[in-house]
Structure 1
């Protein structure tokens, strides 16, 4: 990890730079994949499954028999854990429902708004080195609560042409029926354009590798919406003298093990803490099965020893972390000062892993600094807000002249006439409504 002591503000941007990705290089690989899927549909998907996943597929869609078999392969312990997470995530996202609003802005003018579910959504679930069955919960649960009519789940198969049993079990628990063995950029293309097996959707959700990420960005310009721009996972930890070095090291490693392109950031005012955390990292990393990924990620990672709490918070807001852990004695005193973060974890006993799996908040979050302008996935991500208005004769007689003046000023005569014709009819019937 690269260590900086009291870095000047002018250097913050350079110090906090994420590991770079060659978008143009990846785009050159992804675009032909998207084009081929658009043209050849299922045939292209089977060819890519053979080429990239080394799986020869007879059928793309998972059968009921496969789901039943997978359910038996998941241990009762894991089923219980998934069910607990399911109930917590469901409780938190159900609480996010908004009642329709109706406001009379002036007599006879009623304005309304309500949430309407996005009808068709696609969920991408990574399945390679880390099959993220937890993402099935994070995306499927709010999609169901929102009332999405059609939910399609795509995940890459293994060499045997199968999906991880926990992914299938979780999908069944959530109530997702359309599950397809498709990964990578080709899955994103299939959900964008539709194939014989995979229906076209209106919005695509889910994390993925650099090819999936670039594919999502490309298709977002082709008429389909995406949840957010996303990239490699990241965590920032702000720790004071009360922090447990072993906890901090474990939190940093929990993100570093995601992949070589992940990044972790430690911010503190305590130089002695840094040394203790480094020792703990050396001790813990040796026991990790994904040690190589973690070591590579640490090469991209940063420690900033700051002179004050204020400077620390300013630096963290400049970074805009996907996950931010506030490992301090009084985290709630700092909480309101954080304005840029995907999800915040307060106190010494709130590991980021809790949000990844089972506390109830969503783990699909903005990365790469997008937390400055994007929210993580929530119930809102699966709905549209539609506004309505209803104006009575009295209402238009009051509001109409205002609209006429504004339309006239913008030289939009048809806009003005749409009001004037109605006003003339209203006043011919009810001259008492003539504005005084």
Structure 2
């Protein structure tokens, strides 16, 4: 047996180690997995006017506002209705562009659309643009929605990873618990974008009026649900890791049966096809009645005004989409436009709360509140349009936003980065700072 001398054995070992180190140095390095963003929860308190914060019924919201970001108010898009504005919040497109131009619509190719028409609500052909859950899925993030208009349809071939058909049956607490259960999974399986939707304040505002005790009770109920959410995040050690954006789609105005305008007094019923009634009336003249209808309706009247769709006020950014009827009439704040038949079906009475008025009406103002590790503390934002929420969501998720009408620069003052306390995401910049609330 040949025995290698000890010095030669040592030299061979050193050579072998050197060869291994050289091989490792030239081996291709496996790229590290990109860091996942902090979860973002977008919450809608439907019909919640920002002035409701001043009623002393929402301590959780007030605490979040005091230690986060609160806008003086957020301007809804026209028309100030539920489906158009919820979909604007998640696409950054005005209704005139994303195609949900009213809660009730008609499309020659698709037929009728309404809140209770499940086939239409779940048909992605109605829903234009790219909602944030589609943007996020395309870029590798998990998404989940606990109700949101548009989330029940397959849009551009995608839905959220998890979604639910809307039902009023789940209580606010049950909705919160569903979301918290998503965060009980292993961290790689968390949805990075989630929604919560609460219709309770809107329902009470319609049924009883914006100043009714029942509306106050609904405010307190959704605030308690938010407290449950915060407690659940705290119990999971996530209080400082989740970004919350709390919004509403519009406010609520007082209306009454004494402030009803009957279209029958202005126009023979057979002269036009009426598609929508209430605060925003959309109608199309029957063939041969165009001149008659326009002569009767166009222009200013007592408590309402009408326009051809191409001549609507430019500030509404509305009138180009083919689903918008040929003539649009807008009731003044606090008034309704109905037919006698519609009023009779309602028993001669109208509910005491309504929305759908000019977005510039103070009663239509919406809520915007943000809190979490990405946001500054104690900052008040000036009023802004709701189209700017979508690019903010994309920024928080670290994804590239789709084409939209919003501009991240409007909400940069809400971010910690704008105040020198946190680096901005790659590709983003900070140009201004918000005012600190006193």
TM-score (norm 1): 0.30
TM-score (norm 2): 0.30
Higher normalized contact order (CA 8 Å, seq sep 6+, divided by chain length): 2
